[in-house]
Amino acid sequence: MRTARIVEEGAAYYHVISRVVGRAFVFHEELERERFRKILRAVEGYSGVQILTYAILSNHYHALLYVPERQRVEDGEFSRRLLFLYDKTMVENLMAHIACLRRGGLDEAAEAVKAPYVRRMYDLAEFMKALKQRVSISYNRRHGRVGTLWEERYKSVLVEGSPGGLSAVGAYIDLNPVRAGMVKDPRDYRYSGYGEAMGGSKQARAGLGVALGEPGVWSEVACRYRQLLYVKGEARGIAESGKAKRPGFSEEAVEAVLGQKGKLPLNEILRCRVRYFTDGVILGSRVYVDEAVERHRAHFSARREDGARAMKGGAWGDFYAARQLRVDVMGSPAPS
């Protein structure tokens, strides 16, 4: 049974995940991941959807997105955004046509010309469609391939826009390369929001600032976010041999803790594979999840009286999911 995809009417935050068809490792080369990264940022620039952080792995990707409320796009801003995805000559011709209509007093006709493009802005589904299509076209053209590159559906989890929830999901995403064994320190992975921010990207730094609820001075944001990624992390960092002292819990260690009904602290939770972040449907405080379930009642059983479900395996605090997961809730540090 497919998990219901929850989409809010107004502004909202989402954790999205999409996988390559057949789980093929098509992005194992750095050049392929860099092309993906550029397309990702281009679609962000066009759509008005903000990427708080992301991680591009060999056969899938994660992103934490902020989708603002739909708003009017003036001609100057419209032109600027089109250039992220369309040829300069095409944009100039389109804008000349719009300007001609406005000079003739045909503002409604000018807005009608803009409408097909504006409709694809401020929209989660359109963001994902544009991203997946453009990555597929780019990859297929260069590799003599045809057909979609992606599994049919992407997953999305609605996340409460609180600093605690957003930063936890963001850190989980940025630790993906560590769980996958691709790097020992997440700052060394260029194809993630954290790695890009550490490389100097103002865009990536702004996204992490929003995730932390403090879009301020980067030095402060960087310090707080790294503490979340590595609470006591330096103590289990890199040994003199160059190997990680403890890159993450082993599957056996996780099972032992959970088998004893123990709860992992948040920093250790984030180093494990956690299904709530991909299959929980809605994440946030008890009140937020209850209210979101009520807003989207059609997605749930009529017999369901409340929304929030306690999350297993960790000291989650006031963090709940809409879906009660019973099998493989948490696992070893592996690609998720």
Read off the pLDDT of residues 47-56 as tens digits, 9 standing for 90 and up.
999 999 999 9
Give the helix/strand (H/E) hosting 40: helix 30-47
Cβ within 8 Å of residue 270, ≥6 positions away: 168, 171, 172, 175, 228, 229
237 falls in which pLDDT band (50, 70, 90)? very low
Which of 76-80, 269-273, 292-296 shows the highest mean pLDDT? 76-80
| Mean pLDDT, residues 142-167 | 91
Residue 232 DSSP code? T
- Which tokens belong to 64? 């934490």
Which residue, chain included where needed, has tokens 């996780």? 254
The CA distances from residue 104 to 76, 93, 98, 107, in Å, are 18, 17, 10, 8
Q: Which CATH number fits domain 12-69+127-331: 3.30.930.10, 3.40.640.10, 3.30.70.1290, 3.40.190.10?
A: 3.30.70.1290
Domain residue ranges of the chain, discontinuous segments joined by +: 12-69+127-331, 75-118
Percent of the chain with pLDDT over 70: 86
Q: How far is the C-alpha of 336 from the C-alpha of 316, rounded, in Å?
A: 19
Per-residue pLDDT reduced to its tens digit, 178-203: 888 898 889 999 999 999 999 999 99
What are the phi and psi torsion angles at 127 (to 5°)? -60, -50
